[in-house]
Amino acid sequence: MTVLLTHSFVGLAPPLIDGVPITLHYQTDSFKKLCEWFSTEDRSHLINIHMILPITNMQIALNQLLLSALGTNNKSEAIDIIRRWIWIFKQSSLKNFRIVGFSTDGDPRHMRAMRLVTVFFATLPNIKSNSYTNAFHLKIPKEWNWYFLSDSHLVLWFQDAANVCKKLRNRLLSRTINTLSYMVLSFC
């Protein structure tokens, strides 16, 4: 598919810089160049969508809004996802929007990213998401010896339970996947 005003093409997986896709990367007015891209570059067979759900103090439920959608070849790493989340947070803050949390399905890369950002038995040496001035600070009771997370978080992290249950159901019903080894390798 082409966007006529910019001579840019979608359907190919854009390269990432700090987890953020390069905009208008596949831009040309040459048919030869386009053919070359489609024969040599990775195609994006999946789409990564970021939605916003506004929080209000009114009694009405607001609809979700599309923030971004990008084609992906599903080769990103957890660090790319973390950098993308932080970039989205920073860009939203510049526009006076406060992101409270991110939610995702059971994709192992997203789970790993959540675990790393929450400093859950691991830390990132170059990314300190809990050191921002506008981070949430929790007062954790001393008797909570079972609580392993930090007392400071940039945003809250949620797991989309409906999506996780659907994926688990599909894995259990699959005739080709060894369910136990898949679950151990994917979620641990």
* Domain definitions of the chain by residue range: 1-75, 77-188
Q: Report mean pLDDT in 10-residue bins for the chain, 188 residues.
A: 63 83 80 85 82 79 82 86 89 87 80 80 69 76 80 75 72 70 53
The CA–CA distances, whole Å, from 88 to 77, 99, 100, 136 equal: 17, 9, 12, 17
What is the sign of the dihedral through the CA atoms of 111, 113, 118 and 123?
Answer: positive
C-alpha 54/C-alpha 32 separation (Å) is 45
